[in-house]
Chain A
Amino acid sequence: MLIFEISAKGRRNHLQSPRHAPEASDIPAHLLRKNAPLFPEVSELQVVRHYTQLSRKNFSIDTQFYPLGSCTMKYNPRGVHQLASLEGFLQHHPLTPASHSQGYLQSAYELQQILSHITGLSAVSLTPMAGAQGEFAGVAMIRAYHLARGDTARTEFLVPDAAHGTNPATAVMCGFRIKEIPTDKHGDVDLDALRAAVGPHTAGIMLTNPSTLGVFERRISDIAQIIHEVGGLLYYDGANLNAILGKCRPGDMGFDVMHINLHKTFATPHGGGGPGSGPVAANERLKPFLPTPIVGYDGKHYKWLTEKECPQSIGRLSAFMGNAGIILRANIYARFLGREGLCRVSEYATLNANYLMARLQQAGFTLAFPDRRASHEFIITFKKEAKTLGVTAKDIAKRLLDYGVHAPTTYFPLLVPECFLIEPTETESKEELDNFVNILIMVLKEAQDSPELIKQAPHNLPVRRLDDLKAAKELDLTWRDSQ
């Protein structure tokens, strides 16, 4: 039932909006709205019940194990959410003078410092609103750097074939042509191909390390050298930072600029698709190009640094200062954990991933990179099962839902056929991991004994498999009154 279908003409809530609002008689009639928009007319209870019931049709971290690779679905602490939602923070207008914004500015400044230390890079701007916008900022900074030196020949960006889709999409938004770099059979960048691809047109490369294949790129220092030698710069996609917190730093690996997904590593909730936050960190060379605003501190007061103080900045990426509420949450999370807790994040995330990987290998699942250590995530492939049983990674993913666990990431990276990218995160207990292994073993057995059961899954959810073809061909994107 849609909210529109429980609507009744003339029903309305009276406490939520002002009463007796006068007509706007001074605005010329031809500029006024003639027909009211088609909104539902429902009581407060109907709204509350409708959306509460809808919420119960969702899987979430709060209700299910959610080992979605590359997404770091760790527990989102309640205390963080509550403290970031204090009245004083919520009421605070973004253009309030700095004199009356010191609480927020201090929190943002501290986070800049923390991120700078963790990444080994010298300066941070918190304004990008998600990973992809952080990527945009970083690649645009690299572009600005080359142009500032009068180097207009650098028109190409290198992206490994295992990269997340946002990487090539971002480089194109920044005006570059893409060159794809292949991966070798151990999951590392193919260095010969890289050497052959670089040259005076190379603006830079975008890399994730550990890569999207769940392994650490061991020759990262060689890669950095190859790129820097031809005058290019290195961009680090920080989606997998959870794996290396306190163990190594992108700045030391030779990266010039990177983003951090606060909604992954710093435990801010994903909200059913967002918001996130993608702060960008840069070394001395790229620091002048960071997007504004940035928070400065003179030893006494915190203040905004804008175009005036940062004349070479690539500019502004949003109307105000990015997803401020997420920045507050990340600050609180980082200070809850402190230096010891932050190091433990990568340790236990890696422990959980390697444990799960070992258990699954022992249970007969096929690892994509069996001779490699897992980072905080790893890949298994159902290529064999797809061939012999006709059961695909998608089928198995859907069956997992029936057993009340969320499916891992499927079909990403595109490089590994029929794959699951599994990221358990550090906040899951051994019992939860063991339970997941048992479920997977059971599902694999079902796939062998009764493949049709799996191919028809899910069976126990609010809906069964959806007709995506119909959805795309007979587009129904809004409800109309006539229906």
Chain B
Amino acid sequence: MNTLPQELRYTTTHEWVRIENDTATIGITEHAQSLLGDLVYVDLPPVKKGLAVGDDAAVVESVKAAADVYSPVDGEVIEVNAALNDKPELINQDPYGAGWLFKVKLVGELPLSLLSAADYEAMLNEE
């Protein structure tokens, strides 16, 4: 687990968030992709969609499982990672980089529930 990027924030449902100014980039963690296995399909939200914390934002699907990705923040979708439509395996290969899912223009405060890398790691160790 020493690969956890320290600059990201995390959720208990295994999403990560990268905050840059008023934009949040969102993906799923290494741990989540390894549980799901080889991904075959990603359903991304439409651009302009408004999201609140906890809303269903995307679906990632493997051969034997499907998982909802919940929005970790409030805001509006401004961009999605279209490369995933043809290559969902990018999430397996590079979950924190080329496998990002979508970007949100933030509205209001960041939720307090977001975890630091250390807290997320502690949570994983408990599981």
Report the bound CA distance from A473 to B38 in whole Å. 10
Q: Does B40 count as interface, using CB distance less than 8 angstroms? A: yes
Q: Is the interface of A mostly helix, strand, loop or mixed?
A: helix
B81 to chain A minimum Cβ distance, whole angstroms, is 18
Report the bound CA distance from A472 to B64 in whole Å. 10
Write the A434-474 contact mask toward B (1 if CB under 8 angstroms, else 0). Answer: 00000000000000000000000000000000001101110
Q: Does B120 count as interface, using CB distance less than 8 angstroms? A: no
Q: Is the interface of B mostly helix, strand, loop or mixed?
A: loop
When C-beta atoms are compared, the residue in chain B nearest to A467 turns out to be: B63
In the complex, what residues of B have CB within 8 A of residue A469's CB?
38, 40, 63
When C-beta atoms are compared, the residue in chain B nearest to A471 turns out to be: B63
Report the bound CA distance from A468 to B40 in whole Å. 10
Number of interface residues of B (CB under 8 A): 5
Q: Which of B26-46 contact A (CB under 8 A)?
A: 38, 40-41
In the complex, what residues of B have CB within 8 A of residue A471's CB?
63
- Among B38, B41, B63, B64, residue most surrounded by chain A Cβ atoms (within 10 Å): B63
Report the bound CA distance from A468 to B38 in whole Å. 10
Write the A261-295 contact mask toward B (1 if CB under 8 angstroms, else 0). Answer: 00000000000000000000000000000000000
In the complex, what residues of B have CB within 8 A of residue A473's CB?
40
When C-beta atoms are compared, the residue in chain B nearest to A468 turns out to be: B63
Report the bound CA distance from A294 to B64 in whole Å. 40
Report the bound CA distance from A472 to B61 in whole Å. 10
When C-beta atoms are compared, the residue in chain A nearest to B87 turns out to be: A473
In the complex, what residues of A have CB within 8 A of residue B41's CB?
472
In the complex, what residues of A have CB within 8 A of residue B40's CB?
469, 472-473
Report the bound CA distance from A465 to B40 in whole Å. 18
Report the bound CA distance from A226 to B41 in whole Å. 42
A228 to chain B minimum Cβ distance, whole angstroms, is 32
Report the bound CA distance from A24 to B38 in whole Å. 53
Report the bound CA distance from A473 to B41 in whole Å. 8
Q: Which of B54-94 contact A (CB under 8 A)?
A: 63-64
Report the bound CA distance from A473 to B63 in whole Å. 9
In the complex, what residues of B have CB within 8 A of residue A468's CB?
63-64
A179 to chain B minimum Cβ distance, whole angstroms, is 16
Report the bound CA distance from A469 to B64 in whole Å. 9
Report the bound CA distance from A270 to B87 in whole Å. 38
Write the A91-111 contact mask toward B (1 if CB under 8 angstroms, else 0). Answer: 000000000000000000000
Report the bound CA distance from A44 to B46 in whole Å. 53
Report the bound CA distance from A469 to B39 in whole Å. 8
When C-beta atoms are compared, the residue in chain A nearest to B88 turns out to be: A473
Chain B positions near chain A (C-beta within 8 angstroms): 38, 40-41, 63-64
9 chain-A/chain-B pairs, Cβ below 8 angstroms: A468-B63, A468-B64, A469-B38, A469-B63, A471-B63, A472-B40, A472-B41, A472-B63, A473-B40
Q: Which 8 A-B pairs have the closest CB atoms?
A: A472-B40, A468-B63, A469-B38, A473-B40, A472-B63, A469-B63, A469-B40, A472-B41
**Given A468-B63, A469-B38, A472-B63, 7 further pairs, Cβ under 8 A:** A468-B64, A469-B40, A469-B63, A471-B63, A472-B40, A472-B41, A473-B40
